[in-house]
Structure 1
Amino acid sequence: MDESLVRAAVPRELVEVLGVEPRSSSQAAAFTEAFLKNSLLPSPRDDLQTMLTHKAVILDYARPKRERAKRISKKAKGLTARQKRAMRIFQIKPEQQRYELFLPLHDLWRRYVVDLCGGLKPTSSPQFVAQKLLKADFHGAVITVVRSKCPSYVGTTGILVQELKHVFRIITADDRLKVIPKRNSVFSVEINGFVSYIYGSRFEHRASERSAKKFKVRGTMDL
């Protein structure tokens, strides 16, 4: 409120009409203080004199906070290794251990490798094919054990049906499931006339891990 308006004198032409007497400045100030004291609610922080001095009243208003809905992301949790072993997920039943059942898988693998190696033309470099096969998925490939520290494994041939971190599981032509350790073994893979050799010790990774691994070029390799 502007204090000059409160203390302004009543115009002379209105004194007789209204029948009032103009008040002095001290009387006007006392009236204003009494009016504000009776009209305004008491403030716990500011007294009346402070309000009159600053001539500004700040009304406290806090916008109510909206409660944010908590987003609970539910991620699908897979089975643990112990649960998989208990459920025997990776075990092939005896009635399914038949060579002819996996021949369509072998045909798919051959087409997959041909596309991976850009057609496998006669002019393709053997080193190029070998580098591609290092990171390839071998499920469905026909592999043969050509060298091993265990002589009983040498000559074993079959379709690779399961590749684990340390072993290959193959189905032989006589419908038998063989488990061949990767370490201390060398395998051969033939595709469209190209014969590549796999050193099992370099394949001691899961197929998913091997696809992203960088292999170092080595001149020779022992079992």
Structure 2
Amino acid sequence: MNEAAVNDPIPQELTGALGLQPAAKSKADAFARSFLRRSLRDGSRSDVKEILTHKALILGYTRPKKDKPKKNKKAKGLNAKQKRDLKIFHIKAEHQKYELFLPLHELWKQYITDLCNGLQPTTNPQLVQGKLLKADFHGAVIKVVRSKCASYVGLTGILIQEFKHVFKIITKKDELKVIPKRHSMFEIEVNGFVSHIYGSRIEQRASERSAKKFKSKGAIDL
């Protein structure tokens, strides 16, 4: 039996005797032929069987659309009003305790000592003064020695929050005080070194003050 005989279809008279049904055109075959008709560039050639006898078949091609690159949107921070509404800087009454901030003061003393390369009796006081102007004061014990508002004079406590225009300190009586920088002079003592700082010279946030260049000035009128 040759190969051609094997591939020949079953005669119609035998399909009934064998209980077979003629094979119907499958949906896949119908879809394939319909797809080829739609995709062929030469729409006049509608005989798919004839077309498939060619060695090469050129189908239509649609270039896929490229997704536009997403723009990186920078996250916007909260504005001053939103921060106030959320009470981000609010310190609860039960946390307004002087003793709770004593460890912070110890850390600040170590920080300022390292910043000044170790405070020794021979250390130049002007060097300490210059370092303090750029230092972070959170944890420092500050005292108001002069002010246009007499009620502020003598107030002493650990600085727990610093803003552009005000200091917030906690006193030994567990009282939270808000002191404006302008029109006030503050005293800071570190290992025997006493420095006086005019509040009007440091009306910046701590992060801004660290990069600022301070010029030597004479007395400042409160």
TM-score by length of 2: 0.69
2:89 maps to what in 1?
90
Q: Determine the structure 2 residue equivalent to 1:167.
A: 166
Kindly provide the CA deviation profile for residues 53-96 of structure 1, in whole angstroms up to 9, marking residues without a partner as x. xxxxxxxxxxx798475143243322121110101111111111
Identical counterparts, % of pairs: 68
Amino acid at match of 1:206: R
The corresponding residue for 1:182 is 181
CA distance, structure 1, for counterparts of residue 100 and residue 73 of structure 2 = 38
Separation of aligned partners in 2, 1:68 and 1:120: 61
1:133 is displaced (CA, Å) by 0.5
| CA distance in structure 2 between the partners assigned to 1:114 and 1:102 by the alignment | 19
> In the comparison of the two structures, how many residue pairs are matched?
162
RMSD: 1.9
**Cα deviation, residue 155, structure 1:** 0.7
Can you list the C-alpha shifts for 1:179-200, whole angstroms capped at 9, x where unaligned? 1111111110000110011100
Aligned to 1:150: 149
Report the counterpart of residue 22 of structure 1 in structure 2: none
Tell me, in whole angstroms, the C-alpha distance in 1 between the residues paired with 2:73 and 2:106: 39
Matches within 5 A, 1:14-33: none
Match of 1:188, SS? Answer: strand
TM-score by length of 1: 0.68
Aligned-partner Cα distance in 1 for 2:121–2:196? 18
For residues 116 and 163 of structure 1, the distance between their equivalents in structure 2, rounded to whole angstroms, comes to 19
Kindly report structure 1 stretches of 4+ aligned residues shifted beyond 2 Å. 64-69, 74-77
Structure 2 unaligned runs (5+)? Answer: 1-62
Q: Tell me the secondary structure at the aligned position of residue 155 of structure 1.
A: coil
Q: How far apart, CA to CA, are the structure 1 residues paired with 2:198 and 2:77? A: 32
Larger Cα Rg: Structure 1 or Structure 2? Answer: 1
Residue 120 of structure 1 is matched in structure 2 by 119
Match of 1:139 in 2: 138
**Cα distance per residue 1:148-173 (max 9 Å; x no partner):** 11111111100001111111100000
Gap runs ≥5 in structure 1: 1-63
Distance in 2, matches of 1:142 and 1:217, equals 24
Report the AA paired with residue 116 of structure 1: L
